[in-house]
């Protein structure tokens, strides 16, 4: 069983929901990425999602765009993302880690080279925003070869027939994008999310995690009530960026993100299934 499947199974037995923080590798500094990963786990993360820095992050809102720009300025790349996973695994062999990014860095590295390096580093899954099922065959063959999960997005605009198709390619969990828009946008309509999650469950028995638009304990609680997992990204990244901007040091920035995650953990745990 993959680490991700195992983690969702364990949480289901405990009647808890998965909390999945997203950070960008190399933001705010390359050397804090691995310590931050461990701190997030210590403060309630069940699965870690690492953004791979890209020059053209087309699905990101302003907060995460800036994180990508800072990470690139720090020289971070896909190689550093894999190195962070490898280093993280030296101390934590149980928390699942997935990479979320855009097609080109993986294409440029080559599917097979990436898959081998990812498996060797101890990565669990890949989510490529701009690779829909229509374009997935090349990379999926390689991910399956090394036993990595492939995480797909489902959007509010995805019709049932496409959910069916996505479900047939997906493994690990399905990532439901809670709104039409970019990361960090708008506010969440919990009823609407519930309807779409129910729609996904008709076509797939995989766990469903929800992301885009969860910023605090209460929005996390409302999503945790209907889904198996909650992804939070922009809010954590903003907490770090704002802290640094106010003149505080890097440790304070990390503390701000971790503190927010702990609050969100309470929100998630206020819902029991």
Q: Which residues bind another protein (CB under 8 A)?
A: 53-61, 65, 69, 72, 77-79, 102-109, 129-132, 134-135, 152-159, 162, 166, 177, 180-182, 185
Q: State in angstroms the smallest separation of the CB of 247 from another protein.
A: 24
Q: How near is the Cβ of 204 to another protein at its closest, in Å? A: 14
Phi, psi of 174 (to 5 degrees): -105, 135
Tell me whether residue 61 or residue 267 sits nearer to another protein (CB atom): 61
From the CB of 95, what's the least distance to another protein, in Å? 26
- Phi and psi for 265 in degrees, rounded to 5? -60, -45
3-state secondary structure the chain: CCHHHHHHHHHHHHCCCEEEEEEECCCCCHHHHHHHHHHHHHCCCCCEEEECCCCCCCCCCHHHHHHHHHHHHCCCCHHHHHHHHHHHHCCCCCCCEEEEECHHHHHHHCHHHHHHHHHHHCCCEEEECCCCHHHCHHHHHHHHHHCCEECEEECCCCCHHHHHHHHHHCCCCEEEECCCCCCCCCCCCHHHHHHHHHHHHHHCCCCEEEECCCCCHHHHHHHHCCCCEEEECHHHHHHHHHHHHCCCCHHHHHHHHHHHHHHHHHHHHCCCC
Give the residue with the Cβ less far from another protein, 196 or 265: 196
Q: Evaluate whether 33 touches 246 at the Cβ level (below 8 Å).
A: no
**Which CB atom, from 159 or from 247, has the smaller least distance to another protein?**
159
Strand partners, 48: 97
Calpha distance 23→67 (Å, rounded)? 9
Q: Is the Cα torsion angle 9, 132, 102, 238 positive or negative in sign?
A: negative
CB of 106 to another protein, least distance (A): 8
- CB of residue 236 vs another protein: minimum separation in angstroms? 21
Q: Which is nearer to another protein, 22 or 54 (CB)?
A: 54
Closest approach of another protein to the CB of residue 241, in Å: 15
CB of 26 to another protein, least distance (A): 12
Taking the least distance from each CB to another protein, the nearer of 5 and 109 is 109
Nearest CB to another protein, comparing residues 162 and 201: 162
Query: Which one, 78 or 121, has the nearer CB to another protein?
Result: 78
Nearer to another protein, 28 or 213 (CB): 213
Cβ at position 47, least distance to another protein in Å: 20
């Amino acid at each position: 069983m993959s680490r991700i499947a195992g983690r969702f199974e364990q949480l289901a037995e405990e009647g808890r929901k998965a909390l999945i923080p997203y950070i960008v590798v190399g933001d705010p500094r390359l050397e804090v990425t691995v310590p931050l990963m461990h701190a997030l786990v210590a403060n309630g993360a069940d699965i870690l999602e690492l953004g791979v820095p890209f020059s053209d992050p087309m699905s990101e809102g302003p907060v995460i765009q800036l994180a990508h720009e800072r990470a690139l300025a720090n020289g971070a790349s896909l190689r550093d993302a894999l190195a962070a996973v490898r280093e993280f695994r030296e101390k934590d062999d149980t928390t699942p880690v997935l990479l979320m990014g855009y097609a080109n860095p993986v294409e440029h590295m080559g599917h097979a080279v990436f898959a081998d390096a990812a498996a060797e580093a101890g990565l669990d899954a890949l989510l490529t925003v701009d690779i829909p099922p229509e374009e997935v065959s090349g990379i999926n063959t390689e991910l399956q070869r090394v036993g990595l999960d492939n995480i797909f997005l489902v959007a509010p605009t995805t019709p049932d027939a496409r959910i069916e198709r996505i479900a047939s390619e997906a493994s690990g969990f399905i990532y439901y994008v809670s709104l039409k828009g970019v990361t960090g946008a708008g506010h969440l309509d919990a009823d609407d999310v519930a309807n779409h999650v129910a729609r996904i469950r008709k076509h797939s028995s995989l766990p469903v995690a929800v992301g885009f638009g969860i910023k605090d304990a209460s929005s996390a609680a409302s999503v945790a009530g209907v889904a198996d997992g909650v992804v939070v990204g922009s809010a954590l990244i903003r907490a770090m960026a704002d802290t640094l901007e106010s003149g505080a040091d890097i440790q304070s920035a990390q503390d701000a993100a971790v503190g927010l995650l702990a609050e969100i953990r309470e929100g998630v745990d206020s819902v029991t299934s």
